[in-house]
Protein backbone atom coordinates (compact mmCIF):
# COMPACT_ATOMS: atom_id res chain seq x y z
CA UNK A 1 0.00 0.00 0.00
CA UNK A 2 2.87 2.36 0.83
CA UNK A 3 4.32 1.79 -2.66
CA UNK A 4 1.06 2.83 -4.30
CA UNK A 5 0.77 5.99 -2.18
CA UNK A 6 4.43 6.84 -2.82
CA UNK A 7 3.98 6.29 -6.57
CA UNK A 8 0.91 8.52 -6.64
CA UNK A 9 2.76 11.28 -4.78
CA UNK A 10 5.69 11.08 -7.21
CA UNK A 11 3.31 11.24 -10.19
CA UNK A 12 1.50 14.22 -8.68
CA UNK A 13 4.78 16.08 -8.13
CA UNK A 14 5.88 15.35 -11.71
CA UNK A 15 2.54 16.58 -13.05
CA UNK A 16 2.77 19.81 -11.02
CA UNK A 17 6.36 20.45 -12.10
CA UNK A 18 5.52 19.78 -15.74
CA UNK A 19 2.76 22.37 -15.51
CA UNK A 20 5.18 24.96 -14.11
CA UNK A 21 7.62 25.11 -17.01
CA UNK A 22 7.23 28.87 -17.34
CA UNK A 23 6.50 28.76 -21.04
CA UNK A 24 3.87 31.15 -22.25
CA UNK A 25 1.23 29.50 -24.43
CA UNK A 26 1.52 30.42 -28.09
CA UNK A 27 -1.84 32.17 -28.08
CA UNK A 28 -0.55 34.62 -25.46
CA UNK A 29 2.98 35.11 -26.70
CA UNK A 30 2.04 36.99 -29.87
CA UNK A 31 3.72 36.81 -33.23
CA UNK A 32 7.42 36.92 -33.98
CA UNK A 33 6.91 39.89 -36.30
CA UNK A 34 3.55 41.53 -35.53
CA UNK A 35 4.26 44.44 -37.88
CA UNK A 36 4.04 41.96 -40.76
CA UNK A 37 0.34 41.37 -40.06
CA UNK A 38 -2.49 43.55 -41.32
CA UNK A 39 -6.17 43.70 -40.47
CA UNK A 40 -8.93 43.46 -43.05
CA UNK A 41 -9.69 47.15 -42.44
CA UNK A 42 -6.14 48.13 -43.36
CA UNK A 43 -6.40 46.17 -46.59
CA UNK A 44 -9.76 47.76 -47.41
CA UNK A 45 -8.20 51.22 -46.98
CA UNK A 46 -5.07 50.39 -48.99
CA UNK A 47 -6.29 47.94 -51.64
CA UNK A 48 -6.29 50.60 -54.37
CA UNK A 49 -2.67 51.52 -53.71
CA UNK A 50 -0.42 50.75 -56.65
CA UNK A 51 2.24 49.17 -54.46
CA UNK A 52 -0.09 46.85 -52.51
CA UNK A 53 -0.19 43.39 -54.08
CA UNK A 54 -2.38 40.55 -52.87
CA UNK A 55 -1.56 36.86 -53.17
CA UNK A 56 -4.37 34.34 -52.69
CA UNK A 57 -2.87 31.10 -51.44
CA UNK A 58 -6.10 29.13 -51.68
CA UNK A 59 -6.12 25.36 -51.25
CA UNK A 60 -6.98 24.88 -54.93
CA UNK A 61 -7.22 27.00 -58.04
CA UNK A 62 -10.89 26.00 -58.27
CA UNK A 63 -11.58 27.54 -54.87
CA UNK A 64 -9.77 30.70 -56.00
CA UNK A 65 -11.74 30.92 -59.25
CA UNK A 66 -15.18 29.69 -58.21
CA UNK A 67 -15.49 30.41 -54.49
CA UNK A 68 -14.12 33.90 -54.91
CA UNK A 69 -11.11 35.90 -53.88
CA UNK A 70 -10.17 39.45 -52.98
CA UNK A 71 -10.40 41.62 -56.11
CA UNK A 72 -6.99 42.05 -57.72
CA UNK A 73 -5.47 39.07 -55.93
CA UNK A 74 -3.25 36.71 -57.90
CA UNK A 75 -3.27 32.97 -57.26
CA UNK A 76 -0.25 31.13 -55.89
CA UNK A 77 -0.34 27.35 -55.46
CA UNK A 78 1.70 26.84 -52.31
CA UNK A 79 1.85 23.08 -52.93
CA UNK A 80 3.75 23.44 -56.21
CA UNK A 81 4.76 27.03 -56.97
CA UNK A 82 7.10 27.71 -54.07
CA UNK A 83 8.38 24.27 -53.11
CA UNK A 84 11.67 22.64 -54.01
CA UNK A 85 10.71 19.61 -56.10
CA UNK A 86 14.28 18.28 -55.85
CA UNK A 87 14.37 18.21 -52.07
CA UNK A 88 13.63 14.75 -50.63
CA UNK A 89 11.89 16.37 -47.65
CA UNK A 90 8.35 17.36 -48.67
CA UNK A 91 7.17 20.97 -48.70
CA UNK A 92 10.59 22.59 -48.44
CA UNK A 93 10.81 26.16 -49.71
CA UNK A 94 12.16 26.66 -53.20
CA UNK A 95 15.34 28.59 -53.83
CA UNK A 96 15.37 32.36 -53.51
CA UNK A 97 15.85 32.64 -57.27
CA UNK A 98 12.78 30.52 -58.03
CA UNK A 99 10.60 32.47 -55.61
CA UNK A 100 11.88 35.80 -56.97
CA UNK A 101 11.15 34.72 -60.54
CA UNK A 102 7.66 33.61 -59.56
CA UNK A 103 6.89 36.83 -57.71
CA UNK A 104 8.19 38.92 -60.60
CA UNK A 105 5.97 36.95 -62.99
CA UNK A 106 3.02 37.87 -60.75
CA UNK A 107 3.91 41.56 -61.08
CA UNK A 108 5.42 41.92 -57.62
CA UNK A 109 8.42 44.20 -57.12
CA UNK A 110 10.78 44.70 -54.16
CA UNK A 111 9.11 47.99 -53.26
CA UNK A 112 5.62 46.46 -53.05
CA UNK A 113 3.72 45.65 -49.88
CA UNK A 114 2.53 42.07 -50.27
CA UNK A 115 -0.52 40.68 -48.49
CA UNK A 116 -0.84 36.89 -48.56
CA UNK A 117 -3.99 35.14 -47.42
CA UNK A 118 -5.59 31.72 -47.71
CA UNK A 119 -9.09 30.32 -47.58
CA UNK A 120 -8.64 27.31 -45.34
CA UNK A 121 -7.06 28.65 -42.16
CA UNK A 122 -4.08 26.40 -42.86
CA UNK A 123 -1.49 29.01 -41.88
CA UNK A 124 0.40 28.61 -45.13
CA UNK A 125 -0.11 32.29 -45.79
Share of the chain above pLDDT 70, in %: 74
The answer to whether the predicted template modeling score (pTM) of the entire model surpasses 0.75 is no
Give the CATH superfamily of 33-117: Rhodanese-like domain (3.40.250.10)
Residue-level pLDDT at 23:
52
- The DSSP annotation for the chain comes to -HHHHHHHHHHHHHHHHHHTS-PPPHHHH--S-GGG---HHHHHHHTT-TTEEEEE--SSHHHHHHS---TT-EE--TTTTTB-TT-SSTTPBPPHHHHHHHHHHTT--TTSEEEEE-SS--S--
Compute the mean pLDDT over every residue in the chain, rounded to the nearest whole number: 79
Residue-level pLDDT at 61:
85
Residue-level pLDDT at 74:
92
Tens digit of pLDDT for each residue in 30-87?
Answer: 778 888 888 899 999 999 999 999 998 888 888 888 888 899 999 988 888 888 989 9
Residue-level pLDDT at 120:
76
Amino acid sequence: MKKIVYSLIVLAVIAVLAGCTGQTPTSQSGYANPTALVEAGWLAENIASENVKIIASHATKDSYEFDGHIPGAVYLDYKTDIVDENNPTPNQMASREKVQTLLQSLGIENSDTVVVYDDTNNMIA
